[in-house]
């Protein structure tokens, strides 16, 4: 039996080494689409474990589950990297209404923003001042804001093709709205959900009070886009209407959590590390299938596909599932801190944190030489309709690795549907398409394969790409 | 008032004529994403009218509705083009089970294939022979097939990136399975649904008996992919199991229907016609939102956006909603027949019939000169992530226009999810994303704008593209 095994194995590796890059990449895609594991892993993560907010039982279970699954893959090393994380809890479901006269109320859908303080126990009721952005606060001044709830209602720009740019142009209201409104005496903040479509889901996400003392902080909530439109329309008819909301979220002491890490040691350059990852934590609404269960299970499948296809990486390939991207970035910071302590040499890091949709390409944070080298590989991706190779941001968790030499990259899937689900109760497994997820895993694997094979800044190697 | 209107209008057209192509295309996308009409039209077509199988009340209502909506746009001409269409009706819901012993049955999900004959009134029960394709019939021979139901179970190839190629490689089982099985004495045909994922929806679609006499025809049904897997597994355990199915679909006499057409007359070359269209009929399961309500309402929006942006086309722009693409192609053939009778000069035709998903580009059926000219426009689409400009098929309805000079094109949206819904009960409005649909309409409009402005084979004009 053993003899036969080695014979077959030998034939397979022999065949592998003679394969062109075109052939290897074809195999990667075919294997991912026919024998991928990302969808099954995500099914478990989403449907058996569920949401994974830092410090929650779900997060703890996700750490245990993904570690166990990585161990089954027979990697060279699997470990947990301890990191203390913030623990914010939503408490009872929020409740809100618009009041046009005593007793005349209309319920609306809200959710507390991550990190928000609670309202008073009996809730908070006040008049509302609607603004389109932070800069309007100064124009309005304290006399128009003090004692009121500030309603930030600037919508995402629907004409932008890159929806992340629409998000970037809008999210200051959520991130800094409360912090800024406090300066003018506001008693609460309601923010239009970061959502390009009109629907009934409020979308959470972090708000940041900066160094505002805890006893000065005001509660902040997101309101669904439909109800933001409703509130705005009603304010036009009656600027004296009142808004009531009640939430009892709170910040608890930090708790112990972990980054989950597994690696295959490189055969030639074991000290050169390639990271592929996503973040294991999610918000507490929905089950975080797109954000970022997808990125985690795709990253796990990158290392699994490499092993299953018998690719022996020259460099060390490490899958990292970062903890606490959503409300603290502690995992990404800890990983980079330890890497620096150990003087680890990271040559490349790839993050998938833009949803499990059809992959379109990557954005790269790289020097000119490395980026030009990457562009040489672009045609290898043509058969897979991967066309987007642009410079730009990579991912929040791998950002702290940036040191002037490491090349950082982010998977860029089609972004049109992402903000339909982002941070909301409908970010669930049903919103995932198996093929789209698997194409993403394959695309990541193909890039990792090329980076491992050719390295960066190695001019000798570049022209040797076999097509 | 009139004076002011003309003043404003004059200023607007002045501005328009000085706009570069980049600016016009930017306006087209922005307008479609912020003021598109395709989604609202599709909502009505799908949710108020529903399925639109040729000859059905739904088809008739869709003709009336879309004609009326085109008339509201103030086009130069809107008309109905009469065409006789086949009328096939499904009758009562189908019913099927696998029987492993008398009384031991397991229900499975099937639907009659379009054009199929009914089973006998009491249904049809027979042993099953499973095959992977048409070519296995001859190998098995009459002795293994006569008196049995042939179960065509070759799945779509999940490793193909272009899912339409996977469909093309599989659909002969549905289209010709019955016709071929009849030759070997089969009594019925069950075909695995043309669906890349495993689920419970049977997918209909035409089967073609060719010139088999009516009294020799055998009933043909599609079975859901999950139940195809089940049937195959059970056959492995018991090749003598029996399959029962009952359907009372039938072919009625042809009925009167219509292509719906609207046009803007060209200012310079009114005899040069540009067609943009989709097919108004659908299958009777679901509401045909992706196939092809999306293509129809996108096409309507092309002509609306052109008008709304004040673009005065040089050539005649015609929107055509073809009737009976699904089970007869009568509308497409009739349109081409009349065009030939009238010696109309069609220079370009664009069809959207691949679902309302994020557009990726176009396939073109064009001579070298025209195709090279089109490639010159490709960079204008870069900001919209439209990258796929390839030669290939265009669309079934515009195919009959082919005459060696007309350029034909098909919109190519992301195809990963298309066969999840195609011809099945889940092809409903809920499966449509508004932005994706509107991006498709914008992409079509931009191409029509360029073709109208520059024409084809007009070497003088080509270098004048303003970027």
Task: Let me know if residue B388 belongs to a domain.
Answer: yes
B19 secondary structure, DSSP code: -
pLDDT at A137: 98
What does the block give as tokens for A40?
Answer: 């099954």
Residues of chain B in contact with residue A416, where contact means CB-CB under 8 angstroms, are 358, 433, 435-436, 439
Judgement on whether residues B215 and B307 belong to the same structural domain of the protein: no
B282 close to B221: Cβ distance less than 8 angstroms: no
Using CA coordinates, name the residue in chain B closest to A30. Answer: B159
Judgement on whether residues B258 and B242 belong to the same structural domain of the protein: no
User: A45: closest CA among A63, A19, A21?
Assistant: A63
Q: What is the nearest CA distance from A27 to chain B, expressed in angstroms?
A: 9
Flag whether residue A23 sits within 8 Å of chain B, measured between CB atoms: no
Contact yes or no for A360 and B434 at CB 8 A: no
pLDDT at A461: 45
Judgement on whether residues B229 and B284 belong to the same structural domain of the protein: no
Residue B400 to residues A48, B336, B339, B364, B397: CA-CA distances in angstroms?
A: 53, 6, 10, 15, 7
The CATH number of whichever domain residue B436 belongs to comes to: 3.40.630.10
Q: Which of A248, A264, A291 is the last residue of a domain?
A: A248
What does the block give as tokens for A32?
Answer: 């991912």
Strand B359-365 and strand B407-413: the pairing is: antiparallel
Judgement on whether residues A314 and A428 belong to the same structural domain of the protein: yes
Task: Let me know if residue A2 belongs to a domain.
Answer: no
Q: Which of A228, A248, A268 is the last residue of a domain?
A: A248
Q: Where are the alpha helices (DSSP H) in B124-250?
A: 135-140, 142-145, 163-168, 172-182, 225-237
pLDDT digit string, tens, across residues A153-187: 999 999 999 999 999 999 999 999 999 999 999 99
Judgement on whether residues A431 and A354 belong to the same structural domain of the protein: yes
Task: Let me know if residue B10 belongs to a domain.
Answer: no
Q: Which of A248, A281, A301 is the last residue of a domain?
A: A248
Beta bridge partners of A107: A97
B218 secondary structure, DSSP code: -
Range of the domain at A69: 16-87+253-464
Number of domains in chain B: 2
Residue B412 has φ and ψ, to the nearest 5°, of -120, 95
A258 close to A279: Cβ distance less than 8 angstroms: no
Judgement on whether residues B208 and B311 belong to the same structural domain of the protein: no
Task: Let me know if residue B1 belongs to a domain.
Answer: no
Task: Let me know if residue B15 belongs to a domain.
Answer: no
Task: Let me know if residue B6 belongs to a domain.
Answer: no
A286 close to A421: Cβ distance less than 8 angstroms: yes
Residue B457 has φ and ψ, to the nearest 5°, of 60, 30
A31 close to A64: Cβ distance less than 8 angstroms: no
For testing contact with chain A, the best of B429, B434, B438, B442 (most A CBs within 10 A): B434
Flag whether residue A414 sits within 8 Å of chain B, measured between CB atoms: yes
Q: What is the nearest CA distance from B173 to chain A, expressed in angstroms?
A: 22
Judgement on whether residues B405 and B270 belong to the same structural domain of the protein: yes
B102 secondary structure, DSSP code: T
B188-192 sheet: strands from edge to edge: B104-107, B95-101, B242-246, B124-131, B149-152, B188-192, B220-223, B110-112
pLDDT digit string, tens, across residues B247-276: 999 999 999 999 999 999 999 999 999 999
Task: Let me know if residue B310 belongs to a domain.
Answer: yes
B353 close to B408: Cβ distance less than 8 angstroms: no
Strand B124-131 and strand B110-112: the pairing is: unpaired
Judgement on whether residues B136 and B149 belong to the same structural domain of the protein: yes
Flag whether residue B158 sits within 8 Å of chain A, measured between CB atoms: yes
What does the block give as tokens for B278?
Answer: 């989709």
Per-residue pLDDT of chain A in tens (467 residues, 90 and over written 9):
344 344 444 444 444 568 999 999 999 999 999 999 999 999 999 999 999 999 999 999 999 999 999 999 999 999 999 999 999 999 999 999 999 999 899 999 999 999 999 999 999 999 999 999 999 999 999 999 999 999 999 999 999 999 999 999 999 999 999 999 999 999 999 999 999 999 999 999 999 999 999 999 999 999 999 999 999 999 999 999 999 999 999 999 999 999 999 999 999 999 999 999 999 999 999 999 999 999 999 999 999 999 999 999 999 999 999 999 999 999 999 999 999 999 999 999 999 999 999 999 999 999 999 999 999 999 999 999 999 999 999 999 999 999 989 999 999 999 999 999 999 999 999 999 999 999 999 999 999 999 999 999 654 444 444 44
Residues of chain A in contact with residue B30, where contact means CB-CB under 8 angstroms, are 159
Cite the active site residues of B: 325
Of A33, A385, A434, the CB nearest to B360: A385
Helical axes A434-454 vs A294-308, angle rounded to 10°: 60
Q: Is the peptide bond before B306 cis (omega within 30 degrees of 0)?
A: no
B341 close to B400: Cβ distance less than 8 angstroms: no
Judgement on whether residues A62 and A156 belong to the same structural domain of the protein: no
Q: Is the peptide bond before B101 cis (omega within 30 degrees of 0)?
A: no
The CATH number of whichever domain residue B235 belongs to comes to: 3.50.30.30
Task: Let me know if residue A9 belongs to a domain.
Answer: no
Beta bridge partners of B51: none
A157 close to A118: Cβ distance less than 8 angstroms: no
Count of beta carbons in the 10 Å neighbourhood of residue A375: 11
Judgement on whether residues B298 and B443 belong to the same structural domain of the protein: yes
Cite the active site residues of A: 325
| Cα–Cα distance, B253 to B91 (Å, whole number) | 15
Judgement on whether residues A205 and A217 belong to the same structural domain of the protein: yes
Residues of chain A in contact with residue B387, where contact means CB-CB under 8 angstroms, are 385, 387-388
Judgement on whether residues A154 and A198 belong to the same structural domain of the protein: yes
């Amino acid at each position: 039996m053993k003899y036969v095994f080695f014979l077959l194995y030998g034939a397979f590796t022999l065949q592998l080494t003679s394969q062109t890059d075109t052939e290897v990449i074809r195999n990667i895609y075919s294997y991912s689409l026919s024998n991928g594991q990302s969808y099954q892993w995500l099914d478990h993560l989403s449907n058996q474990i569920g949401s994974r907010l830092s410090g929650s039982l779900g997060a703890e279970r996700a750490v245990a589950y993904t570690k166990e699954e990585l161990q089954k893959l027979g990697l060279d090393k699997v470990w947990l990297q301890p990191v203390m994380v913030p623990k914010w809890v939503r408490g009872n479901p929020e409740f809100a209404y618009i009041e046009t006269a005593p007793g005349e109320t209309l319920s609306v859908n809200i959710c507390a923003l991550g990190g928000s303080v609670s309202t008073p126990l009996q809730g908070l009721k006040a008049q509302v001042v609607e603004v389109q952005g932070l800069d309007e606060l100064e124009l309005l001044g304290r006399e128009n804001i003090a004692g009121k709830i500030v309603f930030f209602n600037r919508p995402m720009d629907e004409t932008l093709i890159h929806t992340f740019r629409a998000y970037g142009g809008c999210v200051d209201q959520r991130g800094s709205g409360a912090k800024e409104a406090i300066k003018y005496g506001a008693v609460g903040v309601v923010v239009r959900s970061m959502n390009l479509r009109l629907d009934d889901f409020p979308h959470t996400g972090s708000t940041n009070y900066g160094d505002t003392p805890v006893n000065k902080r005001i509660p902040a909530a997101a309101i669904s886009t439909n109800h933001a439109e409703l509130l705005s329309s009603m304010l036009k008819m009656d600027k004296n209407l009142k808004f009531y909301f009640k939430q009892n979220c709170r910040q608890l002491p930090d708790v112990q959590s972990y980054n989950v890490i597994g690696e295959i040691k490189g055969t030639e350059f074991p000290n050169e590390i390639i990271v592929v990852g996503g973040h294991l934590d999610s918000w507490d609404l929905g089950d975080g299938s797109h954000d970022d269960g997808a990125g985690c299970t795709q990253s796990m499948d990158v290392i699994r596909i490499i092993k299953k296809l018998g690719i022996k990486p020259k460099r060390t390939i490490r899958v990292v599932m970062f903890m606490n991207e959503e409300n603290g970035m502690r995992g990404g910071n800890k990983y980079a801190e330890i890497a620096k302590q150990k003087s680890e040499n990271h040559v490349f890091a790839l993050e998938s944190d833009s949803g499990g949709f059809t992959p379109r390409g990557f954005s790269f944070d790289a020097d000119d030489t490395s980026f030009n080298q990457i562009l040489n590989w672009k045609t290898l991706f043509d058969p897979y309709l991967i066309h987007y190779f642009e410079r730009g941001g990579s991912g929040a968790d791998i950002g702290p690795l940036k040191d002037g030499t490491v090349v950082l990259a982010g998977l860029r899937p089609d972004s049109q549907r992402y903000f339909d689900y982002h941070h909301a109760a409908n970010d669930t497994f049903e919103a995932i398409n198996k093929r789209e997820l698997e194409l993403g895993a394959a695309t990541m694997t193909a890039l990792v394969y090329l980076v491992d094979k050719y390295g960066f800044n190695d001019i000798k190697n570049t022209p040797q790409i076999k097509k």
